[in-house]
Structure 1
Amino acid sequence: MADFLTRASRLRVADASVGSYSVSSAPIRAVKPSTNSSRIPPYLHRQGFVPRCEEDFGGGGAYPEIFVAQFPLGMGKPADGGGNNSTLPLQLGADGRLEYDLVVRQGSTKTVVYTRPENADGVQLQGAAAVAARQLPRKLTLQDQQDWKIPPCVSNWKNQKGYTIPLDKRVAADGRNLQDVSVNDKFASLSEALYIAERQAREEIRLRNEVKKQKKIREEELREQQLRQLAAQARAERSSTEGVEGHNSGCAQRLLRLEDLAVDPLEPPRFKHKRVPAARFSPPPPVLHSPTRKLTLQDQQDWKIPPCVSNWKNQKGYTIPLDKRVAADGRNLQDVSVNDKFASLSEALYIAERQAREEIRLRNEVKKQKKIREEELREQQLRQLAAQARAERAQLLQQSRRAAGADAEEEAERQQREQLAREREKDIERAVRLERSRGKRRDDSQRDISEMVALGLPVDAKKQRTDSMFDARLFNQAGGTDSGYKGGEDDTYNLYDRPLFAQRGGAGIYQFSRDRFSASVG
């Protein structure tokens, strides 16, 4: 079983169903010459097989079905070192990748050259450490100490004792709060570009992870199939070479499954964060004082501060009135200077307000005119609709009459009947109006002839009037025609014999007289 696993980790086995080759997950080691003839696959099963060394030919000739450059037994192979040609042909290693270390191993076929990271496993590096160990110690001078003096570096993650430093202490040690932050205008575009780049990177990472996941699934399936084929091939080779069937001859194949070690989700943490111990309290810094000395008169006068007089209370504590307080403040002694720009500002505001009002008035006028035009247009449309409706109605009536087959005589009789009905309606309306106005008007007998003519009433000439032709109030009067003119005195021009609004009770009411007042006062 161990021999089978060893060969399985080194061989590249063809999968006829898939048509490709895979390498096992074992670590890749340098390919060494081997005399094992089982390395060469049998005929008709050499798809993907490439001879790389003399052992791959098995002491025979080249393989005509493999289309690569072949040099069995070194025939046709260039001389050692490649002659004068400095170009190396591309060669593939055991893992199917290009061997770039051929440049280093060129011309040194007998020297072992380690060019892979796997060759450094278990090797102890002794370069700088050995050189430092061989140096002789010497005494450091003051200049060396000053040159090599490095300020203590506070790590952002752990200090010398392995304690984790809190985040606030870490940010404070960086001195970021002491830096002047100046924001450039290009930060917005830079942030946008970074956001777009980050989004694209996240999308690429997601697609890459998806591809890796699918590739891993295919590799798992291929590894399982490869291990199954390896087991079947090892059993076939063992039976063909040694004539003995493989282990457990009753089974057709073996299945090898590789799984990762399960991780316990409830496993306690393996690492523990240590808290930083509290710092020791240092003694307070000393406060330096000047030596005590006796105060002099000059010092007392220099330090003498006048008493503060309050603006609200006097020395005795009485409340000071507001006018006294304002007068003592000295505000009335200040010259009030008004800036000339206030007038220009007021004038500009007035002009702006007037212009705004004028614009508003014009805007309202335009709106009003527009509304009037809209109303006129609507009325015109309504009139057109009404005329159209009347025309349609008349047309419908004419069509209905024509459909009824009325002749010209019936039409004339109908018009005559309608005219008689209209005249009768007018007579009835006139009679109703006269009936209503009869109670309101006065007796026609009391009217004058001119009024009766103006009203259109009939004038009865045969009617005997019993009333007198003169006003009786003008008779039996003592005065003549000159009674109202003071006996014919035209110069007085008195139309009335007594005042119209005579106030006889005003004599008992006191009236102010300036002359009487001046006479009494003197």
Structure 2
Amino acid sequence: MATELARALPKPKHVSYEEPAPASRAPRVVPASSLEGQVVLKKTNIPPYGSRSNWRPRSQEDFADGGAYPECHVAQYPLDMGKKKVTTAGALVLKSDKSIAETIARQGHKDSRIVHSSFKDLIPLRARADAGEIELSRPSEEEVEATRRRTEEALQALVNSASAAQKPKSIKKANDEPTYVRYTPHQGQMGKHNGPQNDRIIKIVNRQQDPLAPPTHKIKKIPRGPPSPPAPVMHSPPRKVTREEAEQWRIPPSISNWKNHKGYTIALDKRLAANGRGLEDNTINNKFADFAEALYTADRLAREEVKQRAQMQQKLAEREEERKAENLRQLAQRAREEKAAAAASRRSRSRSHSQARRRGSKSSGYSSNSEDSELDSEEERVRERERARRERRRENERELRQQHMGAERRVQMMAREAGRDISEKIALGLAKPTVSGEALYDSRLFNQSSGFAAGFNEDQMYDKPLFQAQDALSALYKPGSAQQDDGEDEGQTYERITKTKRFEGFSGAAAGEEREGPVVFEKEVARPSAGGKHNAGDDPFQIGQMISDVTGGGGKKRYGLQDDEDREEKGRSKRARVDSDEE
């Protein structure tokens, strides 16, 4: 039973186990009937891996249903993959040789089409040299009929295609063929029995339709079917989002650096956030900190060195100042001693001089004159020193007043001392005055003509003479060149000029006395009374009294230094008067 079943089943194509090798090595005899089903495999000589340096795959059998060989450095196309297919194009290939007329004429035509492109095509077949033997026998009736039928079919196809193109395609063809149906009513209907007389033949005809009527069929949108079920997502249970995760998921709005149609004011932090700079992790090298620390240390050392140098210079300056002050004190002490000695000698000389004057001797009188000259020179030097001291005191007072002045008053005073007008200049440190509309423009510029006559180059300041109007002014008081002297002297010329109408005086001026020089005006001034005081009628507001108080020093501001100097001056003047009295 098993043998019959195995014999009935076909032989398997794939065997999962290795078939045992035949025991005998003798040649196997195959019957002729089984040769038809045998498949002959062609053995390919593909070298093993590592020995393919000089081998090249040249056919599809060399690939053995596999891929390319990477160790063979040639173009390989297994199963013709990637190989460019040769296609015939309709473009005319350009040639460097002479163009052929037949190739150009056949461009765009089929190969079966007869194209006459040369001169020999115009020669009849009988006159051609290569025509050979021409058959002039008459065709048979079958050939004529076949040719006629082919011609008729070709012409009918052309006519049908032309007429079909003119007919409308939207009109359906009418099917007028009726359909006949035998109708047999149901049994027991109307209480009658069915019989052959009750059968009827019904003719079914298509209902006539208006070809111009609009279509009654409405296209309805088919509802979309249910989508595919969602893919399962394996995720952890939901949890609350932390602040750090929210910051990481926050996407800033896109802000353009070039366009702002609405004109919104965008904060800088929002603009920087949109730029994406905060998303970058900047790694700072430690050498920057070392470099900054080194700079700070060098700066601190340099500052300490500069501070020590300044302290040393200050100490040296203080020592030098102390040395100079000590030298000045010594010089002042020596000068005081010399002055005291000179005063003592002067008093002794004055006593001797007074005694000698009483005697009235001439020799002693001569010596007293020389001593008087020395005293005068000494007094002159004293006066110079007093004058210099007063000048210094006046300068100190002026500087002190300037310190107590306001900014505007100080600027005006400095400008007055410099002798220049600052009416149209900007005063530094002062509030800018409000400029009206009329003061913004100079009215003198509105009445000037423009063009080449007014001055082509306005920046050129030397285009006009410097004293252009001086000639016209000087010509008013000088006689012209057209006037003739006629030999008259200076007096006659002066009388002739003064008698002209130009120099004629106004009415009432002829009775006045003649004067020499310019007009001098006198102003009436209220003089003080005999007691040295102004009368109340002459000075009702007591302005003269106030001026006298100010000039007399009543309203003058006094300082302690000035009082000491005044006392010294009074003491010196008093001593000078005493000395003069003693002399």
Q: TM-score range by the shorter chain?
A: under 0.3
Structure number with the bigger relative contact order (C-alpha 8 A, sep ≥ 6) is 1
Bigger Cα Rg? 2
| Normalised TM-score (structure 1) | 0.16
